[in-house]
Amino acid sequence: MKRFLILFIGVAVVLRAFILSGNIFSYHTSISDREFRLVYSGEITTLNYLTTATANEFSLLANFVDPLVEYDRFGKIQPALAEEWTVSEDGLIWTFKLRQGVKWVNHEGKVYSPVTAQDFVDGLKYVLTSDNNSKTANIVYSMIKNAKEYYEKEIRDFNQVGVKALDKYTLQYTLIKPIPYFLSTLTYTCFFPVNGQFLKDVGDKFGTDNRYILYNGPYIMPTYEAHHRRILEKNKYYWDKDKVHIDKIIMTYNKEAGVLAPEMFLRGEIDHVNIGPDLIHEWIKDEKKKDLIRPNRTNFFSYFYAFNFNPNFPEEYDPDNWEIAVNNKNFRKSIFHALDRRSALLTEEPYEPESRLLNTITPKGFLSIGEVDYTELEALKKFSREDSFNVKLALAYKEKAMEELRGEVSFPVKVLMPYNTASRQWANRAQVIKYQLERVLGRDYIDVIIEAKSPTGFFDKVRNSGNYGLMELNWGADFADPETYTHPFKRDSTFSWIYLAKAYEGEGGYTIYENLLEKAIAEVTDVSKRYSLFAAAEAFLIEEAFVIPYAVGGGGYSASRINPFEISYSPFGATSGRYKGLKLLKRPMNIDQYKRELYRWQMERKGQFERGRE
């Protein structure tokens, strides 16, 4: 045993001397400005960009295949594979002139063939062939003529579908109805091209491996070992290669990235890492580390708390009682004003919860009329500018509600609030909100019951079946129009069934909210009027406390050699995951630099749009 110990120590010492002196076993510790290394914890399941609807997947895949148009760093649409386009008078026919000389290459960077208009037709055909199980087919068939019919096999001839290659470099789409935001949807992977011959050659294998897709975007992927690593290299034949500044991206998979990656960053093994809420405390206080981190930008996911008007939960939680209570406006308003959203956000943003606070359903910065942000339009102004948390108001509404509901409802009202056990943050939030609401309103009034639900079948089991009282829900934008954020409140959605709310009957058998919405949707010519009408409908939702706006997604902190203001800026589509246009910083940006850069970016963006108007 002693001998063994001595031997072990001996070996260790020798080994260490070896490594320190000779550096025989060198690994990447040198910092290069052409090579970017990171660790990721969510592996992609497929490279088939025509079928996936997973953000993680399409944002990687957008590096390999280019769309017709792309978003620049200010969120402006720029030509990509299409050089120019026209739209017909009636807004139904869009014609694109494609860039010539763009090439498909394989995973080793060898040229396969030129990119032509037919490739876009083949792409749509693949998406709309229902046997291919594309999860984005509905985006296509909600807009393109005869696409749904083809998808459901009512039409067998693809030539009848509204997409055509007029010649080698001219592509034409025919729409069902005029869609002012059609261009923005072209950045979705379902509109990406694919080479028909290649598709035929690889058959079922398409997209199952890096060898089984072709590349025409900024990067190719010569190495892909699932659950181990992927290596991206700059595409030498890329049409816009001057804008690709990073030559090589090494991505290493690690399931424990949240714990290990920050340390790897400190040791110089990687160039980018997210610093989660658990670590941020220590990093901000540490003299050396605090200059390495900067905030992340928020995204356009809107989180809100919704009151359920279709209670469908077990008797023990008293759904009938809930139904009466939730139909009382003062009851809803008391909770609306009692919810301290900052407290809830502290679980994720212990430093600046305000950066993620959202007072409307539509996020700030999503759209604007001229210089006026959508959330600052007349109808929404008063909500955007004021925090809904107000103890005095909450208690006043409580008193009114108790008076009105006396005898009809048994107090305390049970408020069933489920959460998904897969998300630790959500679990934490649920606990915080329970205690916070009960503290403000009193346990004589409400009894918040937080219920853990397993992630298996969560959507169908909880939200879609109305198995909750008050719950955190979210929605992300699909296109550049305020209508995209109204989906959760429409009659055919299974979010919170607000059309079942009593005493809100409007005209024509619809509710007041639906009437407001209808008016807004019908307005297709005057954009500013359209936006104002949508804003009025949204204001109605908030005023009547059908929902409590809460926060936007994203945020948090990163230690990174990337400048977040160089990334393609778009609330939807796939281009925001691209590395095109990014340069590696010599040292990571800190919080002050971030704030300066943010200001500069906002100014430049404003300037851009002003110039655009002239």
Partner 1 sequence: MIKYLLSRILQSIFTLFIVITIVFVLMRFMPVEGYLGEGYDKLDQVQKEIILENLGLRDPIHIQLSKFYNRLIKGDLGVSITYRPGVPVADILKGKIPYSLGIGMASLAISFVAGIKLGTVMAEDLGKMLNRLGNLYIILVNAVPAAIYYIFLQFYLTDIFKLPMLFYVDKPISWILPILSLSLGTTASYALWMKRYMADELNKDYVKLAISKGMPMKDVIKKHVFLNAFVPMVQYLPASILFTISGSIYIESLYSIPGMGGLLVEAIQRQDTPLVEAIVLIYSFMGIVGMFFGDIFMVMLDPRIRLGKSEGRV
Partner 2 sequence: MMKNLKYSYWTSTIEAFKKNKLALFFLYTIIGLIAFIIIQPYLPNQKSPVAIYIDKATGFQLINRPPSKEFWFGTNSIGQDMWARIWAGTRMSLLIGFTVALWENFIGLMVGLVWGYVRRLEGIISTIYNVLNNIPKTIILILLAYTLKPGVLTIIFVMCITGWLDTARLVRNLVVIIRDREYNIASRILGTPGYRIAYKNILPYLVSTLVLKISLSIPAAIGYEVFLTYIGLGLPVGIPSLGNLINEGRGYITVASLRYQLMIPAIVLSIITVSFYTVGNAFADASDPKNHF
| Contact set with partner 2 (CB under 8 A) | 258-259, 262-263, 276-279, 281-282, 285, 340, 342-343, 346-347, 350, 421-422, 424, 427-428, 430-432, 435-436, 439, 450-457, 461
Residues 6+ apart with CB under 8 A from 314: none
Least distance (Å) between residue 468 CB and partner 2: 13
CB closer to partner 2 out of 381 and 453: 453
Q: DSSP string of 219-281?
A: EEEEEEETTTEEEEEE-TT-TTGGG----EEEEEE-TTHHHHHHHHHHTTS-SEEEE-HHHHH
CB closer to partner 2 out of 267 and 611: 267
205 binds, among partner 2, partner 1, none (CB under 5 to 8 A by kind): partner 1
CB closer to partner 2 out of 176 and 427: 427
C-alpha dihedral (194, 197, 203, 209), degrees to nearest 10: -50
CB closer to partner 2 out of 8 and 435: 435
Helix, strand, coil shares of the chain, percent, nearest 5, are 40, 20, 40
Which strand (E) or helix (H) includes residue 587? none
CB closer to partner 1 out of 259 and 524: 259
Tokens 């510790």 map to which residue?
29
Least distance (Å) between residue 599 CB and partner 1: 35
454 binds, among partner 2, partner 1, none (CB under 5 to 8 A by kind): partner 2
403 binds, among partner 1, partner 2, none (CB under 5 to 8 A by kind): none
CB closer to partner 2 out of 183 and 415: 415
Least distance (Å) between residue 435 CB and partner 2: 4
510 binds, among partner 1, partner 2, none (CB under 5 to 8 A by kind): none
435 binds, among partner 2, partner 1, none (CB under 5 to 8 A by kind): partner 2
Least distance (Å) between residue 96 CB and partner 1: 26
Query: Which amino acid would we find at residue 431?
Result: Q
CA distance 185 to 103: 23
Longest dimension (CA), the chain: 92
346 binds, among partner 1, partner 2, none (CB under 5 to 8 A by kind): partner 2
432 binds, among partner 2, partner 1, none (CB under 5 to 8 A by kind): partner 2
17 binds, among partner 2, partner 1, none (CB under 5 to 8 A by kind): none
CA distance 182 to 71: 14
Least distance (Å) between residue 276 CB and partner 2: 7
C-alpha dihedral (364, 366, 369, 375), degrees to nearest 10: -30
Nearest to 125 by CA among 146, 102, 107: 146
For residues 487 and 474, is the Cβ–Cβ distance under 8 A? no
Least distance (Å) between residue 396 CB and partner 2: 19
Least distance (Å) between residue 443 CB and partner 2: 12
Least distance (Å) between residue 320 CB and partner 2: 22
105: Cα within 13 Å, side-chain hemisphere: 24
CB closer to partner 1 out of 83 and 225: 225
Specify the length of the chain in residues.
614
The 8 Å CB, 24+ separation contacts for 386-389 are 386/359, 387/341, 387/357, 387/359, 388/336, 388/337, 388/339, 388/341, 388/359, 388/548, 388/549, 389/337, 389/338, 389/339, 389/340, 389/341, 389/342
Contact footprint for partner 1 (CB under 8 A): 1-2, 4, 12, 15-16, 19-20, 25, 27, 39, 45-46, 48, 51-56, 130-131, 133, 135-138, 151-152, 204-209, 225-229, 252-256, 259-260, 263-264, 267, 269, 456-461, 478
CA distance 560 to 253: 17
CA distance 1 to 18: 26
CA distance 542 to 535: 11
Burial class (CB in 10 A: 0-12, 13-18, 19+), 489: buried
CB closer to partner 1 out of 408 and 460: 460
Least distance (Å) between residue 317 CB and partner 2: 12
- At residue 332's C-alpha, the angle toward residues 326 and 337, to 5°, is 160
CA distance 589 to 496: 42
Least distance (Å) between residue 412 CB and partner 1: 32
Angle between helices 527-543 and 512-522 (to 10 degrees): 170
- At residue 127's C-alpha, the angle toward residues 126 and 130, to 5°, is 90
176 binds, among partner 1, partner 2, none (CB under 5 to 8 A by kind): none
78 binds, among partner 1, partner 2, none (CB under 5 to 8 A by kind): none
CB closer to partner 1 out of 46 and 590: 46
Least distance (Å) between residue 266 CB and partner 2: 9
CB closer to partner 2 out of 395 and 598: 395
CA distance 514 to 507: 9
CB closer to partner 2 out of 389 and 546: 389
Least distance (Å) between residue 346 CB and partner 2: 6
14 binds, among partner 1, partner 2, none (CB under 5 to 8 A by kind): none
CB closer to partner 1 out of 47 and 335: 47
503 binds, among partner 2, partner 1, none (CB under 5 to 8 A by kind): none
For residues 50 and 194, is the Cβ–Cβ distance under 8 A? yes
CB closer to partner 1 out of 170 and 223: 223
Least distance (Å) between residue 133 CB and partner 1: 5
